Amino acid sequence: MSGRKIPCSELRFALGITGTDALKKLEIKDTSYAIELWDKNMRNYTNTIKVFDGIIELLKNLLSLDYKMGIVTSKTREEFTHDFCPFGISHYFKTIICADDTQEHKPNAAPILKYVELSKTDHSKVLYIGDSKYDSKCAEDAGIDFALAVWGSHNKHIKADYFLERPADLLSAITSEKLYWQ
């Protein structure tokens, strides 16, 4: 679009924010066309993306323990439906907040506060698990505890209340009462 080739290492900033915000930071003028092109190209790679090992078991266990789970994503509802729903795990999540549900987006606290509002959950009973500095900042500004999903993070030094090396660590922490909500 601009003729520039940008190394992947310089694009990591875009992980965790909306596509539109990332394109603006890259100074792409026609963001609508760029997103359309991105979505078209992503379809070529959809079959190569897998759920992290241990996630499905974790979701099943959390559901059996009566934890309410939700999603706060920088994807639009359309992107979420196309990119996430094919994994067949959407039914585990009761409340899903997408980029088009709020005016402000991560790292702003608005998406997580929208989750708290719609799920009718007390702040003190929410743990936000994410893998980016934008997730961390969103949780911090909302007054929500944050756990870094180290298994999916490109930066292991993000500020967090808890560090989860693998999905099973969350269940271990909950069942051993090292991590709990009153």
Residues 132, 142: Cα–Cα separation, whole Å: 16
Residue 94's closest CA among 58, 75, 120? Answer: 120
Domains and CATH numbers, the chain: 8-47 (no CATH), 50-175 (3.40.50.1000)
Residue 18 carries which side chain, given as an amino acid letter?
A: T
Contact 110, 136 (CB under 8 A): no
Alpha-carbon distance 116 to 72, whole Å? 10
Q: What is the pLDDT of residues 57-103, one digit of tens each?
A: 999 999 999 999 999 999 999 989 988 999 999 999 999 999 999 99
End-to-end Cα, the chain, rounded Å: 51
* Alpha carbon distance 132, 28 (integer Å): 23
Q: How does pLDDT run across 31-55, given as a tens digit for each residue?
A: 888 878 877 777 787 788 899 999 9
> Which of the four pLDDT bands, split at 50, 70 and 90, describes residue 105?
very high
Give the global pTM.
Answer: 0.81
